[in-house]
Amino acid sequence: MEFIENTEKLTCICKSDKMLKPLTIRKAQDGFVFFEVTSEVGVLPKELTGKYTSMPKAREAVAQYFRTMKETIGVRRENFGKDFDERKKVRDAAKSITKDSKYIHQGVGNGEG
């Protein structure tokens, strides 16, 4: 979980390893002193909709959401792809070793003796 706050623009970028795209806390566009959580992509989770009276309260709400949420489908897909690539490298390396070792003659008649 990472929060990158910009006090000049009154925004905060909220990143989590459970989501591909970050959430943003910003000053509400309604002219009042409230803050809101927005998402660049997709629908904002129901738990985070609404207005917050301060940046720290909005940040705490986002932190609580990140703690309890499951990984998004995109993150799971990305992690599975990485794991699959690692397993494939190990499997391909094992195949390479067995192909190379068939030309090695061991035992009697190896030219020794």
Q: Considering only residues 107 and 33, tell me which one the structure prediction assigns the higher pLDDT.
A: 33
Residue 64 pLDDT grade (very low, low, confident, very high; cuts 50, 70, 90): very high
Residues 6+ apart with CB under 8 A from 106: none
Q: Considering only residues 8 and 106, tell me which one the structure prediction assigns the higher pLDDT.
A: 8
> HEC states along the chain?
CEEEEECCCCEEEEECCCCCCCEEEEECCCCCCCEEEEECCCCCCHHHCCEECCHHHHHHHHHHHHHHCCCCHHHHHHHHHHHHHHHHHHHHHHHHHHHHHCCCCCCCCCCCC
Residue found by looking up tokens 């993150």 in the block: 75
pLDDT for the residue numbered 97: 65
**pLDDT tens by residue, 74-110:** 888 888 888 888 888 887 777 766 665 555 555 565 5
**51: pLDDT strictly greater than 80:** yes
Q: Taking the model in full, what pTM does it have? A: 0.67
pLDDT for the residue numbered 90: 80
Structural domain boundaries of the chain? 2-68, 71-100
